Structure 1
């Protein structure tokens, strides 16, 4: 991974090639993340999340370095990097869309867990209903005067 001083000697094309490489790797990690989410594998999800976080930090650092690079700014202003920048923008947009899909999968999973939890609690409460000596419904042991 590039640190601030490592990127100073690179050309604008080299910087964009590194950025493209990072975004391509991010797209692959996001695709792996989607498979793991669909397989409901929490250990693998933790591992891929750590990989993704590390890569995102590297992407952020490289982006910062590119922002400070005067030669890059001049090349960009001169229109020398338009095709590369367009391709990187498209790749970034793809990553963002796939990441959004993964977020939706996570939300759906959380909703499914909540529905299951509610269903289990309802079933538990149905089983905990008792009747007092007058035939009135009461839940659990509270009707017997027990306190937790």
Structure 2
């Protein structure tokens, strides 16, 4: 993990190199997260989520530092950092797309779990059907006057 030390004293190019390094690491974490999601490993997912969150906080902190850096603002205004900024923007867009894919995997997994839960409840209810003295269907123990 990247140290959370201050980046003061770094040149604008060094700041952007550090930001690029952080985003590259984020892309790797997101790729690992996708593998973990596909393998359905809850403990590994928890660990990778914590690692991802820590890195996102570090990225946000560095981004604020860059935004307040006068030398960076001057170099950007002079057009000196356009290539580095384009690379970072492309990498950030890549991370956002991959993260969105992971979000869709999570959403589909939740839907699958919900469908399974519904199916299990339906099967349980089918097995719990009883008939009263008049031959009418009643479901569950409540028809017997029992309370859980």
Given the alignment of the two structures, is residue 99 of structure 1 paired with residue 80 of structure 2, yes or no? no
**Residues 105-138 of structure 1: CA distance to partner in whole angstroms, max 9, x if unpaired?**
0000000000000000000000000011211100
**Structure 2 regions of 5+ residues with no counterpart?**
none
CA RMSD of aligned residues (A): 0.9
**Residues 5-39 of structure 1: CA distance to partner in whole angstroms, max 9, x if unpaired?**
x3220000000000000000000000000000000
* Cross-structure match for 1:131: 131
Q: Measure, in 1, the Cα distance between the counterparts of 2:138 and 2:147.
A: 14
CA offset at residue 147 of structure 1? 2.8
The size of the alignment, in residue pairs, is: 146
Q: Measure, in 1, the Cα distance between the counterparts of 2:4 and 2:12.
A: 14
3-state DSSP of counterpart to 2:79: coil
Q: Measure, in 2, the Cα distance between the counterparts of 1:25 and 1:36.
A: 16
CA offset at residue 2 of structure 1? 4.2
CA offset at residue 145 of structure 1? 2.1
Q: Measure, in 2, the Cα distance between the counterparts of 1:45 and 1:2.
A: 23
Structure 1 residue runs of 4 or more that deviate by more than 4 Å after TM superposition: none
* Cross-structure match for 1:49: 49
Q: Measure, in 2, the Cα distance between the counterparts of 1:9 and 1:101.
A: 37
Q: Measure, in 2, the Cα distance between the counterparts of 1:145 and 1:57.
A: 56
**Structure 1 regions of 5+ residues with no counterpart?**
none
Greater Cα shift, 66-75 or 135-144: 135-144
* Cross-structure match for 2:38: 38
CA offset at residue 140 of structure 1? 1.6
Q: Measure, in 1, the Cα distance between the counterparts of 2:83 and 2:28.
A: 22
